[in-house]
Structure 1
Amino acid sequence: MSPPRADPAAKMPPADRRPQQRGSAVIAAMLVVALVAATGSMLYGRMDDWIERSALLRDKAQTGELARNAVDYAGSLLAADATRGPVDSLDEEWARQLPPLRHESATLRGRISDLQGRFNLNNLRRDDGRIDDRAYAAYRRLLLSLGLAPELAETLADHLGSRPDGTRPAAAEPGQPLRTPGDLKRIVGYTPAVLARLQTHIGVLAGQQPVNVNTATPEVLAAIQPGLSLAAARVLADGRRSLPFRDSSDFRNRLADPGLPASLVPIAAGSRHFLVDIEVDREHARSRAVALLQRPLAGRQPILLWLTLL
C-alpha cells in the first residue's frame, strides 16, 4: 500500500495563506456592498411607488368628495326652481350645461337631466304585475321611430310582468320591475348598440310615472300620442322653447288635431325625478358621480334615491 499523499496546503506556511484570505474578504465585502446598494435601490423604488399610490388615493378621495358636494349643489338648484312654479322646461337654469368650474387644482363639469322627459320602461308594468296594453303600444311606437325592432317590447314585457290575460311565457321567471337601465343588458336583444340608441329616450323609475311633455324628445312625444307624427312632434318641441306647456290640457290644445285620442301614458308639464351627472378632474385622478334625485314639494331639498361613484 502506498503511503498517504501529503496535502501541499498543509505544508504551506501560515504567512503564505494570508494574501488569499485577504482577497476572499475583499470580494465578500464587495458582494455585501453591492447587495446593500441593490436592496436600497429597490426599497427607494418601492417607496416612490407607495408615495405615488398614496397621492392617487388621496386625490381620488378628494375628487369623490367634490363630486358629492356638486350633487348637493344640483339638489339646491332643483329645490330653488320648484319655488318658481310647477312647470319644468328646458329653458330653466337647471337644464343648462354647467360650464367648467375650478376649485383649487380640480375642474368640475356637470349637468342635470329630467328623467321624466324620457319614457319610463316600468310604465309597461301595472301595480298588479300585469303588462299595461297602452304603455306597451307606446313603447313599440318608440322603438319603430328609432329604427329598432318592435319585438324588443315583447322581450321586455316578458321580463316585467304577466300578459294582460294573466299568463306568463313558458319557463319564464316571475316578472319584476327594472331597478336601473343596466338591467336591460340581461334581456334578450338589448345589445350595446340597442342600448346606445335608446339611451336619451328611455329611463327607469319606480312605478308608473307621467312623461313631462316640456322635456320629452320628439320621438317620445310621437310615441305616447296616437296620431302625432314625428315631424309634427318636432314642431311642438320647437314651439315649447319659447312657450312651455302649462299643463296636459295645454299640450292637447296645441296639437294639430285636438280630437286625437288621449295619450297612451299619463303626461304632465312638471317633473320630480332628475339625473345628476358630475365629473371632477384633478392632477392625478378623475371621479364621476351619477345620482338620481327625487324632488318633493316646493322649497324642500330633493331626496337622494341612489348615488354611483365611478
Structure 2
Amino acid sequence: MNRQQGVALISVLLVMSLALLLTSAMLRNHRLVVKSTAQQLHQVQLRQAGFAAERWALQRLRGADLLASRSVSLGQEWAQVVPPIEFDGGLLQVRIEDLGGRFNLSALLTGGKVEAVTQQRWLRLLALLRIHDPHLENLADAGLVGVSDLSQLRVLPGVDGDLLHRLQAMVALLPKDASLNINTASAQQLMTLGGLSETDARTLVQQRPAQGYRSVQAFVEDPLLSGLELGSHGLGLGSRWFRITVDVALGPSRIRLVSEVELDAKTRGVSVLQRRFLPPLTSGTS
C-alpha cells in the first residue's frame, strides 16, 4: 500500500513538474510575442514619423519662391537649415539637397561618345577624391547602360564599397541632359570645372549671390575665373531633382529615410521617384 502511495505521489509530482514546464514555456513565448509586437509597433512609429517629415519637406519644395522661379539657389526657403524637430519623445532631422549641384554620372553612361569637357570634369572629380581606378576613369567605355543605382558600378573590376562611399556624396544619376547647377554646387564640384584652386572655389561659394547668379554668363565672367577660359557647357541655374533625408530617433532606435523627388517642369508639382529606408541603427551610431 505504501509503495502504491509513493508511486502515486511521484506521478503527481511529475505531472506538476510537466505542468510548470509547460506554463513556463507558454509565459516565455508570450513574453517573446509581446516583445516582438512592441518592436514592430516601434518600427511602425519610426516609419510613420519619417513619412510625416517627408511630407513636410515636400511642402517646402512647393514653396512659392521655388515654384515661381526657374532658378534654384541656396537662398530659397527649401534650402534653409531647419533645427531638429521634437515629437512624442523622439527627434526628427530633415535635410533637402539639390541633386543638380552634383556631377551627373548619367552623362558618362549614354552608350555613345562622351564630350571631352564632361570627361575632363569627371577625371578632375576622381582626382579630388583620390580615386585612381582605370575602369572608373574610362567609365564611358565600360558599356554600362541603364544604371539606376550607384551600387551597380560594383560590377567593374576593382570597384569596391570604399570607392562607392567616396563617390556617393558627389555624384547623381539624373537625365543625361541635366546640367550642373552653379547656384548650389559645392566648392569641390566647382573645382572640377578646370584650373580653379580650392581657395578660389571656396571664395566663389562664399561670395555667390544669395539668390544665385542671374545667368551662367555672369558666373563664367566672375573675376576669380579670369584666365581659365571656362565655357558654359553643361552649366545651368536650375534643377528639378532633390533628395530628402530624414533621420528619426526614438529611444535607442534610429532610422533614416532617403527620398529622391522631382519637380514637374510644367505643373511644378513634386513627385517621389524613389524612397529607401536604411536599417535601424543602434544608439550612438552616426
TM over 0.5: yes
| Equivalent residues of 1:272, 1:294 under 8 A apart | yes
Q: Name stretches of at least 5 consecutive residues in structure 1 with no aligned partner.
A: 1-17, 162-174
Is residue 77 from structure 1 mapped to residue 46 from structure 2 by the alignment? no
Is residue 303 from structure 1 mapped to residue 237 from structure 2 by the alignment? no
Q: Which residue of 2 aligns with 1:253?
A: 221
Is residue 36 from structure 1 mapped to residue 19 from structure 2 by the alignment? yes
Q: Which amino acid aligns with 1:218?
A: A
How far apart, in 1, do the equivalents of 2:97 and 2:256 lie? 15
Q: Which residue of 2 aligns with 1:190?
A: 159
- Does the residue aligned with 1:47 lie in a helix, a strand or coil? helix
Of 139, 161, 176, 2:122 maps to: 139
Deviation at 1:109, TM superposition (A): 1.4
TM-score by length of 1: 0.80
Q: Which residue of 2 aligns with 1:47?
A: 30
Q: Deviation per CA, 1:206-240, whole angstroms, max 9, x where unpaired? A: 323100111112221121x2343333222211211
Q: Deviation per CA, 1:184-223, whole angstroms, max 9, x where unpaired? A: 2332333333223223221222323100111112221121
Is residue 103 from structure 1 mapped to residue 87 from structure 2 by the alignment? yes
Q: Which residue of 1 aligns with 2:245?
A: 277
Q: Deviation per CA, 1:11-60, whole angstroms, max 9, x where unpaired? A: xxxxxxx1100100001101111111111111111101101101111121
Is residue 207 from structure 1 mapped to residue 198 from structure 2 by the alignment? no
Deviation at 1:97, TM superposition (A): 3.6
How far apart, in 2, do the equivalents of 1:222 and 1:306 lie? 30
How far apart, in 1, do the equivalents of 2:264 and 2:147 lie? 22
Q: Do the aligned partners of residues 283 and 299 (structure 1) sit closer, same or farther apart at CA in structure 2, a change above 3 Å counting?
A: farther
How far apart, in 2, do the equivalents of 1:184 and 1:305 lie? 21
How far apart, in 2, do the equivalents of 1:189 and 1:102 lie? 44
Is residue 267 from structure 1 mapped to residue 250 from structure 2 by the alignment? no
Q: Which amino acid aligns with 2:75?
A: D
How far apart, in 1, do the equivalents of 2:78 and 2:44 lie? 27
User: Greater RCO between the two (CA within 8 Å, min separation 6)?
Assistant: 1
How far apart, in 1, do the equivalents of 2:238 and 2:76 lie? 12
Q: Which residue of 2 aligns with 1:226?
A: 194
Which has the larger Rg? Answer: 1
How far apart, in 2, do the equivalents of 1:150 and 1:231 lie? 27
RMSD of Structure 2 on Structure 1 (CA): 2.4
Q: Deviation per CA, 1:243-286, whole angstroms, max 9, x where unpaired? A: 632221221121431771414x5111222110111122234754
TM-score by length of 2: 0.86
Q: Which amino acid aligns with 2:122?
A: Y
How far apart, in 1, do the equivalents of 2:21 and 2:81 lie? 54
Q: Which runs of 4+ in 1 moved over 4 A?
A: none
| Equivalent residues of 1:86, 1:270 under 8 A apart | yes
Is residue 65 from structure 1 mapped to residue 48 from structure 2 by the alignment? yes
- Does the residue aligned with 2:208 lie in a helix, a strand or coil? helix
Is residue 287 from structure 1 mapped to residue 255 from structure 2 by the alignment? yes
Q: Do the aligned partners of residues 222 and 213 (structure 1) sit closer, same or farther apart at CA in structure 2, a change above 3 Å counting?
A: same
Q: How does 1:159-198 map to 2 (within 5 A)?
A: 159=142, 161=143, 175-198=144-167
Q: Name stretches of at least 5 consecutive residues in structure 2 with no aligned partner.
A: 279-286
Deviation at 1:297, TM superposition (A): 4.1
Q: Do the aligned partners of residues 152 and 274 (structure 1) sit closer, same or farther apart at CA in structure 2, a change above 3 Å counting?
A: same
